[in-house]
Chains A and B, each alone.
Chain A
């Protein structure tokens, strides 16, 4: 009886794993099948208005990129503060918990917040609003990974730095950060991968445009929002373009994730 139960249980969990993986495989399969059929050169050379995706891809990367560029110093500095200066005091712990909470806050709510503080006063959607929304989503992730990575730096290294008379600032910038570099880089890549695939906070902050634009002060083209719009259109060609965009987006996110893994693995070996 015990052995029978055991066998049943093993079969059940293997089965559950297979079912789960089956659905996930199914998604990837349709994504590749549908995405690859529509993939051609035009996608990268034409804008959305002419049936390509050039402007929205560039727009998406630009917004995420600017958000990352602003987010990196803020996030890393905050992480440094939590680990190097804050220690284990109550307020530091509180800030840590808050970043954890922010990390899993619904992204659509961040969108509504940015809408209220940027889009309502300026009266129109803009690239900067999108950047701000992505920035808000991204900072907590960088803060927490920096914080965790700095925790792994041996205290002896810091002591050695202080012992030769270096100031705390020098120790932090030249010893601690250098030691944790690979881990922080991974964190940044993962944070970038996370925000580059975000749709919900962009729908009414950046909006999306069919034309080429590099002007962040006006409505800005976004790949994810365009996918959402294209996929809900009745026209088959549009839907096809949406699938191609979805495929490219997923490929991009997965590649960045793999890069992040590679960066942290290299450090370990």
Chain B
């Protein structure tokens, strides 16, 4: 019994690891055709789903080259070389495929630059907007507000952090978007609106985490600073912030990661078009939104491209979260 229990528990624990590994592997496998097709160029290509004429000579050259290679391979009786030949055949096959494409003289180009840029910028806008406000709330709750006010407001903030993101998106689409468009001009769906809605969404999350970090500052430190005649600003600036620095930075990075992978809040308000936002009030696109909107109607290469995008997003947010966890929120 003891042993069985232990084994089952161990199995459950490793499940977390298995899921994570499986996610990476499955995404990579599914994205493989796209990775082979576009390689790293995918990251810097701004066209999406555009048919491009493929020039014949390129394809021919490719074939010629591989035929040359095929000839160059000595036609030996060795088993290994047979294998070699086999690989060559394989290459020939791929080249033939390209030829066919070349015959049709077109090839669909996919590039991730627009959604990547959109994701990064909307997240940056969100951070610029939410950091001062969330810090204001955190400082207000822990240092300024009287206890009777701080307690209910803290609870309210924590509850707000649990509101599903789709609610923020819907509100953004119907109320906040028109409001911003009235204020700054431009569309009701735009990069700016998406960034701000994201910012509003992460405010409660960031404020709650930062408040917890500030709460760990020992009262004695603050009291001794006050006893020296320091003002509240000086105490907060020189005592509280330095002490709680790692926790606060960690909370910002976690919020950053959250905003990066957020789908629903953004899907309503970013516009979902494959173009760069020339002005911040133009609509554009972001990785999660592309995934949410075009998955159902994709197949073959275009589906594989979406998996490629998902892989990029996964790695990006994994890196961000890992940095936050390992460097700033290390458990003592």
Contact = CB atoms under 8 A, between A and B. Distances in A.
Interface stretch (B12-20, B60-68, B103-111): B12-20
Interface in A123-159: 136, 139-140, 143
B307 interface: yes
B257 interface: yes
Nearest to A9: B233
Interface string A107-122: 1111111011100100
A78 B132 contact: no
B2 A249 contact: no
Interface in B172-186: 173-175
A24 B204 contact: yes
Given A24-B203, A113-B23, A107 B159 contact: no
A116 B321 CA distance: 24
Contacts of B318: 101, 105
Interface of B: 1-2, 5-6, 8-17, 19-20, 22-23, 26-27, 29-30, 132-137, 139-141, 144-145, 153, 155-157, 159-160, 162-168, 170-171, 173-175, 200, 203-204, 207, 231-234, 236, 254, 257-258, 260-264, 267-268, 288, 291-292, 295-296, 306-307, 310, 313-314, 317-318, 321-322, 325-326
A86 B13 contact: yes
A20 B159 CA distance: 14
B137 A104 contact: no
Contacts of B14: 95
Q: Which of B2, B14, B261 has the most CB of A within 10 A?
A: B261
Contact of A204 (B156, B295, B307, B314): B295
A16 B1 CA distance: 57
A77 B263 contact: no
Contact of B166 (A20, A73, A227): A227
Given A106-B288, A199-B166, 17 more contacts: A5-B233, A13-B137, A15-B136, A16-B140, A21-B153, A73-B12, A81-B10, A97-B325, A101-B20, A106-B314, A112-B27, A117-B26, A197-B162, A199-B164, A203-B295, A224-B164, A243-B170
B144 A10 contact: yes
A169 B1 contact: yes
A142 to B, nearest CB: 10
Contacts of A249: 164, 166-167
B218 to A, nearest CB: 21
A109 B2 contact: no
Interface in A219-255: 224, 227-228, 231-232, 239, 242-243, 246, 249-250, 253-254
B311 to A, nearest CB: 8
Contact of A106 (B1, B17, B232, B263): B263
